[in-house]
Structure 1
Amino acid sequence: MTSPVAIRPYRPEDRDDLYDICVRTGHEGGDARALYADQDLLPDIFAGPYAHLEADLAFVVDDGTRVVGYIVGTADTVAFVRRFRDAWLPVVADRHPRPKGVPVTADEEMARLLHWPERMVVPELSEYPAHLHIDLLPEYQRAGFGRKLMARLLAALAARGAGAVHLGMVTANTPARAFYDRLGFHEIPVVDPGPLTYLGRRTDVPVC
């Protein structure tokens, strides 16, 4: 009998699946494995630190054999940045050294982001203190699991006292933008957003 797909809290043994999903969805929602020499680089920036530092705000989609999707986040971005620098960078910095000059390769550009967690503190987002990342393998998208993950995290953030949450998405990822729009996110104007669009919503408003 096939086990039902379930949303559940993250467990340490889910780490390899979490990393695999992150890199398989890391290029505008598509597979980024061909873009990076080190397959742990993207997850060490966008998934691992959340599972390590904020495990109580990490939830996964379990298909009965493995994790096929996840959502991670923090209730306090400013505090998270401090913990990232003090408690996460020492764990991964030796593997991903800071580039000595201007980044040339995709790996060097991501390593630059890894060593610059303060980039997450954007003045225009101060009224949205929490932030999140969500990823699902393509074959599990458009089946309601993303909505369920989002509802689970928003409830957890609200319980932690975070009244609003934001995320940064690559502007070119139009399918992701449509997903967030359906869940009630709105665009937050940022003076210099780079390649990202910032979206936000309240945490106490139910996901429709």
Structure 2
Amino acid sequence: MSAVRPYRPTDDRALARICVLTGDSGGDATGVFDDDLLPELFLLPYLERHPDLAFVLADEEDTPIGYIVGTDDTAAFEAWFAGSWWSQRGATRWPRPAPVRTRSDAMVAYGYSRGQGGADDGVAPVGYPAHLHIDLLPRAQGGGWGRVLIGVLADALRARGCEGLHASASRANPGALAFYPRVGFVPVGGDDAATFGLTLR
């Protein structure tokens, strides 16, 4: 039977693969971007900075089939991402594209924009300083595990005194747009992506 457990460093490769397999608006992003790019943006920095806020859904053989990662302080995380993570890892592998011609170029440009005060900076909505990323393989979806993962992370954030949590979803991802309201989030803004918030008090 599947179960949620804390993240372990030995999970990195399996979680990175899940990130790619769900990275194209919920579908398989293999070959859409450099397969290392999405984990460098949306998974690995969270495992590095907040391993205690990372939880894994594993099957009966303890193989990861989903995960949730997050931060309790979006502003501090994004500053660290720009100044430490991306400058030392991302920027050395993916030069800043000029001009932006492809979807992969746009994703790399997003990496450069984070923590720089730009439009794509991921500034937290007022009252929702924490944020998350959650991904489940198709075989793990529809069984309530997304709600369980959200609950586990929310409890960990409450224990830190965090007042609210937010998540963003591409408007091209109808599954995610339906998921967040279903598990208690409310719309709190967003242009290109929809942003949802959950009060933790």
Give the TM-score taking structure 2 as reference length.
0.91
Q: How does 1:1-208 map to 2 (within 5 A)?
A: 4-36=1-33, 38-63=34-59, 64-89=61-86, 90-99=88-97, 101-118=98-115, 119-122=120-123, 125-190=125-190, 193-194=191-192, 196-204=193-201
Q: CA deviation at 1:175?
A: 1.8
1:168 match: secondary structure? strand
Q: Is the 8 A contact 2:75 2:123 kept in 1?
A: no
Unpaired runs of 5+ in structure 1?
A: none
Q: d(CA) in 2 for partners of 1:122 and 1:132? A: 13
Number of aligned pairs? 195
Q: Deviations over 1:110-144 (max 9, x none)?
A: 11111121233436x13210010100000110112
TM-score, with normalisation over the residues of structure 1? Answer: 0.89
Question: Which 5+ residue runs of structure 2 have no aligned equivalent?
Answer: none
Cα pair 1:71 1:149 within 8 Å, conserved: yes
What is the root-mean-square deviation in Å for CA atoms of aligned residues?
1.4
Q: C-alpha separation between the residues in 1 aligned to 2:37 and 2:178? A: 27
Of residues 89-98 and 57-66 in structure 1, the stretch that sits farther from structure 2 once superposed is 89-98
Cα gap change, 1:121/1:177 in structure 2, threshold over 3 Å: closer, same or farther?
Answer: closer
How far apart, in 2, do the equivalents of 1:198 and 1:145 lie?
21
Conserved in 2, the CA contact under 8 Å of 1:19 and 1:47? yes
The answer as to whether partners of 1:28 and 1:173 remain within 8 angstroms in 2 is: yes
